[in-house]
Structure 1
Amino acid sequence: MRNLVLTCLILGILFACKEHKTDPAVEATSQSQYWSFENRDDQYTGGIKMIPIETELGTFRVWTKRMGNNPTKKVLLLHGGPGMTHELYECVDGYFPQEEIEYIYYDQLGSYYSDKPDDLSLWTTERFVEEVEQVRQALGLNKDNFYLLGQSWGGMLAMEYALKYQENLKGLVISNMMSSIPEYNDYAQNVLGPQMDPKVYVEIKAMEEAGDFENPKYGELLFEHYYTKHVLRKPLEQWPEAIMRCLNHANNQVYVHMQGYSEFGITGDATLKDWDIRERLKELSVPTLVIGARYDTMDPEHMEWMSKEVQNGRYLFCPNGSHLSQYDDQKIYFNGVISFIEDVDSGAF
């Protein structure tokens, strides 16, 4: 009798598994709907929209490209820099579609595929926040579907946007960005810098103190001894083509004005040098994922602390990653981001 009961239980489990097995036809239909442009106003352009942005200097246009369809999971990607491009995140193509997460590539004003006005007064955090809000409205994103994912400078912009407009958000992802530029500078100069070859570190510091940022040697030393260890942990010749394309498309006017001349902290009179919102993190109540990485240019312990300061946070640690951990610790990165989106969407977060 005991063996009969056991056999029945096993058969029951097997039949249950068969009943819940995904029907290939249903799965194919789902994917075809995900990729369908039918009845979309961007069908003619294959998902691309040039969105008008109102500023005090007039109206300019920014480039966006929508990928997929999902009524409850739409992720707007904020690239780093400032002045870089959406190309930093083209690897998303390898992960979001199979989860049927809709995502929107977006080049901020001044970046390669958008308008590039030549006026330094436009390059302020406050104006970029209003730009993101205008993009949100134009794309029909709202608190029932809108996830904002920002990496590096994009993470800074995402935090600033959330502090003003979090009622529009369903979820926030702060990727590889600290909440304080002074603390970022301290980490770069006093923790990561001294880990370099002492002779190289002295040479880099001497050029910075002399303001010799245009010296080709400055960039060469940083790429060889800093970027390949803390920005993307691969030899430069193995960096993904999308990253190299992004670097070639960078708007140096925006980058130097706001960030300075390198990723080795904020240099010169860059406008972001005093940015610090540590005391305001507790104002954020929207579900928030903070991503840090062991070898990042940003302090991973600070980013873990940030996840505890917000009211409803989670921390994702990439043990093999650096600043672009979406590339050098890719599976950990995207598994964590996808789990966060799914948990928020299902109400489990």
Structure 2
Amino acid sequence: MRDLSAEHALAMPATTVESRTLPVLGHETWVQVTTPTDPRPGALPLVVLHGGPGMAHDYVANLAALAAETGRTVVHYDQLGCGRSTHLPDAPPGYWTPQLFVDEFHAVLAGLGIERCHVLGQSWGGMLGAEIAVRGPASLVSLAICNSPASMSLWVEGAAQLRAELPADVRDALDRHEAAGTTTDPEYLAATQVFYARHVCRTTPVHPDFAATEAQLEADPTVYHTMNGPNEFHVVGTLRDWSIVDRLPAIAVPTLVVAGEFDEATPATWAPFVERIPDVTSHVFPGASHCSHLEQPEEFRAVVAAFLARHDDTAGESR
């Protein structure tokens, strides 16, 4: 006789997924909550912060697999100005500040009723995670900073080094169009893709989650163009002078720093995190670049899962 109960158990989904919007700072922030059907006792929620700024959550959506793999709730949300959240194309440049996104993070936690959590931020999300952590919120249990710089001056220096390694014709196209201000020219856009294929996302073809985020960015680049600039290595936006280096000793939670071997976040850009955060560990993924989580998803999640598990059990001891 077949064991129908066992077959039914195998067919049951490992997670449930709920998407909705929350009222945040007078606008609406879209959130997605992935909940394991078999939660692990003591496993605290993980909140994922996407990059950009303004690149929406789609390209980090695969981290929802951590819900089933670690028995914890995983929260994604689209930050204001992008994705499925409220778009504000007419907001003045001064509206888009790190503090805005810190405030949004805390409003999301309050709206979901989350009192304590882990935070994982990728690229700009890691910068935002550090901005949250240096303020010492009681809600933060651990921080994972993934593929992120500790300052934009270090980021620009690293990008310049990587640009110098590009083919001469590619470098020439980038330089000419940046000098002329023609960064939407097809020749310039093609040249940027050479850099992206080496240092941003090395999957071939382009990963569909990354393509979905790029499509949303192209539809409304307000936040990205205002805070960053036209692309990953020509930083002329309001974040160009951003740095958290001198504030890093204030981060009081265990912190994981990860990057890829060929990451546009070069070792010098994330070294201050390792040197200045009191309780820190780091990991580099060989053969990966900026989107390590898309290029080596199982390996990436395994490193993150082990880190989270180490800090679930002791999360309440010092609070």
Alignment TM-score, normalising by the size of structure 2: 0.88
**Which of 112, 119, 127 is the aligned partner of 2:83?**
112
Q: Distance in 2 between matches of 1:293 and 1:253?
A: 28
Instruction: Determine what percentage of the aligned residue pairs are the same residue.
Output: 27
Give the number of the structure with larger relative contact order, counting CA–CA contacts within 8 Å between residues 6 or more apart.
Answer: 2
Question: Matched residue of 2:88: which SS?
Answer: coil
The answer (yes or no) to whether the contact 2:154–2:268 under 8 Å persists in 1 is no
The change in CA–CA distance for 1:212 and 1:303 in structure 2 (over 3 A counts) is: same
Residue 182 (structure 2) aligns with: 212
1:256 aligns with 2:198: no
Q: Distance in 2 between matches of 1:311 and 1:331?
A: 28
The answer (yes or no) to whether the contact 2:34–2:67 under 8 Å persists in 1 is no
Question: Matched residue of 1:347: which SS?
Answer: coil
Letter in 1 for 2:288: G
Aligned pair count?
A: 302
Letter in 1 for 2:211: M
Once the 2 structures are TM-superposed, how far is the Cα of residue 96 of structure 1 from its aligned partner? 3.6
RMSD: 2.3
Q: Distance in 2 between matches of 1:318 and 1:97?
A: 23
Once the 2 structures are TM-superposed, how far is the Cα of residue 83 of structure 1 from its aligned partner? 1.1
Q: Distance in 2 between matches of 1:253 and 1:33?
A: 38
Q: Distance in 1 between matches of 2:130 and 2:252?
A: 12
Question: Matched residue of 1:323: which SS?
Answer: coil
Rg larger for: 1
Q: Distance in 2 between matches of 1:155 and 1:305?
A: 13
Alpha-carbon displacement from aligned partner over 1:288-328 (angstroms, at most 9, x marks no partner): 11111110111124424412321111102111211100011
Once the 2 structures are TM-superposed, how far is the Cα of residue 33 of structure 1 from its aligned partner? 10
Question: Matched residue of 1:218: which SS?
Answer: helix
Unpaired segments of 5 or more residues in structure 1?
Answer: 1-23, 37-45
Letter in 2 for 1:253: T
Q: Distance in 1 between matches of 2:165 and 2:57?
A: 31
Alignment TM-score, normalising by the size of structure 1: 0.81
Q: Distance in 2 between matches of 1:33 and 1:248?
A: 30
The answer (yes or no) to whether the contact 1:47–1:67 under 8 Å persists in 2 is yes
Residue 141 (structure 1) aligns with: 114
1:322 aligns with 2:289: yes
Structure with more helix by fraction: 1
Unpaired segments of 5 or more residues in structure 2?
Answer: none
Residue 58 (structure 2) aligns with: 87
Q: Distance in 2 between matches of 1:89 and 1:50?
A: 19
1:193 aligns with 2:166: no
Question: Matched residue of 2:181: which SS?
Answer: coil
The answer (yes or no) to whether the contact 1:142–1:170 under 8 Å persists in 2 is no
Question: Matched residue of 1:264: which SS?
Answer: coil
Letter in 1 for 2:98: T
1:130 aligns with 2:103: yes
